[in-house]
A and B are shown apart, each in its own frame.
Chain A
Amino acid sequence: MQKINKKILNNGLIVLHQYDDSTSMVAVNTVYDVGARDEDPEMTGFAHLFEHLMFGGSENIPSFDAPVQQVGGENNAFTNNDITNYYISLPANNIETALWLESDRMLKLAFTPKSLEVQQQVVIEEFNQRYLNQPYGDVWLILRPLAYNEHPYKWATIGKNIEHIENAKLSDVEAFFYKHYAPNNAILSIVGNISENDAFNLVEKWYGDIPSRDIAKRNLPVEPKQTERRFMEVTRDVPSDAIYMAFHMCGRLDKDYQSCDLISDILSNGRSARLPQRLVKETQKFSEVNAYISGDRDPGLFIVTGKPNSGVELDEAERLIMNELKSLTTETVDEKELLKVKNKVESGFVYADTSILNRAMNFGLYQLLGDAHNVNHEMDKYAAVTPDDIKRVAKEVFTEDNCSVLYYRKNS
């Protein structure tokens, strides 16, 4: 049971705190309620580029990283389709440096041309490194626009294409900041060796005078229900064929979310799971096969990927995978198999909780979903899933009409 203290400042900043005296460190996590889904379709990749710029100095402080390192800390950030998350871990008695830095860039970022110019280059190299220069690296650039027609999940966090990053202007950066970065659009969590009182007092000191800003209400297009199988194939210089199948599924807060997650676990979490056992080991049709959910806030994707062994054609690979998925819709999963994946979820939570940084991030995420205290009820939701739920949800998700298929062929 996690004990979490919560306070909301007058400017709307939500602050979460947990005391842990088994460590000498403290984790300071800031999540902003903005991600790639909030981008202009003509300026994709911007939320992530902006994350880079957040390290280029703020109103009163020229450099973000150096003071963190100076006090023995380490910091980083990540962006996904839903959120932008910044974190610092440092010796607890130096926490004020972290709050000084984070609050100043919440107050106002320094918008410098040099920082924009360099970070555009850095992000282009990130694009090259992760998406273009790796075998199978461009899969998500292809699969997202295939699976989504309307919803902004149709572009990857890195952006639709490099031009969008190249074209970013300083005025866009400034506009983005005032549109999305504000105390009333952020959650600050502090976990570690600092008392509740000290934490809240210091937060009040550094954040109390930051004005709240008008944050436009999110109004994203809803993805229309997919009504027929979508298909695409590409040929690339890769050593083996691969197949990617994406099914639409519910969003993070839907009552069936946990069932979907457990279905993906039954299929591929752990070496005893169905897909690796049946398709890799028993029939040896694949060298690897995986199932997972995207975990998005809005209705997301249930993804199955595989690399068939040579001699297995991609249409056969698709049939083999579909058969495994279909068996979840016709046969009821037995209690023991379901309990196994629930045990795995439960131990996963316990392992993750050993890290103060994980906890700080998690509290922020759950608060963003409604209430940080729900971290304490998440396991109950998994425990409540029945074999009938698995079958019912599998039936809803695993239909041909709901599937986008990508054949990724090697050039011969």
Chain B
Amino acid sequence: MDRNIQPTYNPLTEVKIPDIKEYTLKNGIKVYAVRATGAEVIRVDVSFGAGNWYQPSPLIAAMTNALMREGAGKYNAHQIAENIDYYGSHLQVHCDKDNAGFIAYTLSKYFENTLSILNDIVREPHFDSNELDVLVMKSRQNFKIENQKVSVISRRVLMKNLFGADNPYGESLTEEQYNSVSLDEIKEYFNQYYSNKNCSILISGFVTDEHIKLIDKYFGDNFGNYNNSEPGYILKSSDTKFNYSEKDGAVQSSVRFGKPLINLTSSDYPKLQVVNTLLGGYFGSRLMKNIREEKGYTYGIGSVLVSLKHSGFFTIISEVGADVCKSAVEEINKEIDILCNTLVGQDELMLVKNYMMGDLARNLDGAFNIAETVKSVIDFGFGAEFFKYQQECIMNITAEEIRFLAQKYLSKESMYTAVAGRY
């Protein structure tokens, strides 16, 4: 044995595609199931096309979503919380730019108890005005705290520049908006968007046929008055490429780069993910190596591709020492230039490919991980076959393609930059 030499290893050349069963309830809701043996736990994800994009005014989507569990059907808010806790279940509400819904984790033995509560929440929320007051008060408080963070300030500015201020992708909240959340708008929003015609369910874990039948029992009827109306926003990027928001006394500045970009529906997307990984998508990325491991400017830096239903974007995120902020921005620009102009070496390319295949294997290992990974593709109309295409893209991409894609999608000239703190 020679400690100087890495033991032989087998690069992953193929990751097993998960088996996703698909069912259709009598009302048309698609149910996706990822079954596993082992721990007797189930995760249920009930999702609606009811995210911010569709809201008539700011905050409505998130408030509707969060208020639904504060009293529904035969239970008041306290009883819902009490029952969920008693069964040892967890119920998360979630609302993002496009989707909103609920994720419940439950022991299999309490599946029906949990599902029955979830059913009340989705079908018969009370929308009590006192509960709304408490929710608004808590959310406003949280908003004020978040708003002090340089990373939140820079995100707000960047998103506005990428998409424009007058639509839910680009708009930023103000504290005043918390004062005018209308219960009527919430009720109306609920009626329109929380409907079987706008819903999908993803169940994973220790799932049996019995559980699928129970889903049909509780979610199989028609509900809501969905009329499939699209707000029809026009997304428009700003002419200003650089923004600086000063925050007195900041010891670090938040630096964000970004631009609107293709989403998962583009056949370039999985290839662009390789380009992104190389640049800033893993611990050994070029940005991490340069800005953290060489220069010590930051605790962390990363880049990510975000796929939205009506668009997508790329972003680089870091918090850097205020005194070195200018240098950090320069170095990031340098790395983007190198990516666009220089062919990646074979060693680095192999490393990124191997890392990404391992990462995919981790994401597709275990029912709950699979469910989360699958969710990100079914929302865009794909099934498990997407992961096959993704693997082909990772395995086959060349240095030339990477440079070509970097030039096409990530040129320095097309980037927006937002700095918050001191510059």
Q: Which residues of A contact B (CB under 8 A)?
A: 22-25, 59-61, 65-67, 69-76, 89-91, 93-94, 96-97, 100, 104, 107, 117-126, 128-130, 132-136, 205-206, 237-240, 269-273, 277, 280-281, 284, 287-288, 307, 309, 336, 339-341, 343-348, 350-351, 353-355
Give min CB distance, B167 to chain A, whole Å: 28
Which residue of A60, A70, A129, A354 contacts B4 across the interface (Cβ within 8 Å)? A60
Give min CB distance, B54 to chain A, whole Å: 27
B19 interfacial contact with A, CB 8 Å: no
Give min CB distance, A351 to chain B, whole Å: 6
- Judging by beta carbons under 8 Å apart, are B351 and A24 in contact? no
- List B residues 1-41 near A (Cβ within 8 Å): 1, 3-4, 6-12, 16, 36-41
Residues of B within 8 A of A135 (CB): 145, 148-149
Which residue of A24, A93, A350, A354 contacts B368 across the interface (Cβ within 8 Å)? A354
- Judging by beta carbons under 8 Å apart, are B141 and A350 in contact? no
Q: Which residues of B contact A (CB under 8 A)?
A: 1, 3-4, 6-12, 16, 36-41, 77-78, 81-82, 84-90, 105-107, 133-134, 137-138, 141-142, 144-145, 147-150, 205, 249-252, 282-284, 292-299, 319-321, 350-352, 354-355, 357-359, 361-362, 365-368, 421
Which residue of A94, A238, A281 contacts B77 across the interface (Cβ within 8 Å)? A281
- Judging by beta carbons under 8 Å apart, are A239 and B145 in contact? yes
Residues of A within 8 A of B352 (CB): 69
Report the Cα distance A69→B362, complex, angstroms. 13
Once A121-B296, A281-B77 are accepted as A-B contacts, the answer to whether A24 and B365 lie under 8 Å apart by CB is yes
7 closest A-B pairs by beta carbon, nearest first, are A72-B358, A121-B296, A347-B88, A239-B144, A272-B81, A271-B81, A96-B7
Known contacts A122-B293, A345-B88; 13 additional CB pairs below 8 A are A74-B358, A96-B8, A118-B294, A125-B319, A134-B149, A135-B145, A237-B249, A240-B144, A280-B138, A309-B141, A343-B86, A347-B106, A347-B107
Report the Cα distance A94→B148, complex, angstroms. 45
Once A104-B3, A350-B40 are accepted as A-B contacts, the answer to whether A23 and B134 lie under 8 Å apart by CB is no
Interface centre among A134, A280, A347 (most CB of B within 10 A): A347
Interface of B, secondary structure class, is mixed
Give min CB distance, A140 to chain B, whole Å: 17
- Judging by beta carbons under 8 Å apart, are B37 and A70 in contact? no
- Judging by beta carbons under 8 Å apart, are A122 and B298 in contact? yes
Give min CB distance, A180 to chain B, whole Å: 22
Residues of B within 8 A of A132 (CB): 251-252
Closest to A347 in B: B88
Report the Cα distance A124→B298, complex, angstroms. 9
Residues of B within 8 A of A353 (CB): 39
Once A60-B4, A91-B12, A97-B7 are accepted as A-B contacts, the answer to whether A69 and B141 lie under 8 Å apart by CB is no
- Judging by beta carbons under 8 Å apart, are A270 and B7 in contact? no
Which residue of A70, A343, A347 contacts B351 across the interface (Cβ within 8 Å)? A70
Report the Cα distance A61→B6, complex, angstroms. 9
- Judging by beta carbons under 8 Å apart, are B366 and A69 in contact? no
- Judging by beta carbons under 8 Å apart, are B359 and A125 in contact? no
List 17 A–B pairs whose Cβ atoms lie within 8 Å, in order of A's numbering.
Answer: A59-B3, A69-B283, A69-B352, A72-B12, A72-B361, A97-B9, A122-B292, A125-B319, A129-B252, A132-B251, A133-B250, A269-B85, A273-B85, A280-B138, A284-B137, A354-B39, A354-B41
Closest to A344 in B: B88
Report the Cα distance A133→B152, complex, angstroms. 12
- Judging by beta carbons under 8 Å apart, are A351 and B141 in contact? no
Give min CB distance, A92 to chain B, whole Å: 10
- Judging by beta carbons under 8 Å apart, are B297 and A351 in contact? no
Give min CB distance, B417 to chain A, whole Å: 20
Once A25-B362, A96-B7 are accepted as A-B contacts, the answer to whether A348 and B88 lie under 8 Å apart by CB is yes
Report the Cα distance A95→B11, complex, angstroms. 12
Report the Cα distance A69→B365, complex, angstroms. 17
Residues of B within 8 A of A74 (CB): 282-283, 355, 358-359, 362
Report the Cα distance A357→B251, complex, angstroms. 35
- Judging by beta carbons under 8 Å apart, are A351 and B134 in contact? no
Report the Cα distance A249→B164, complex, angstroms. 53
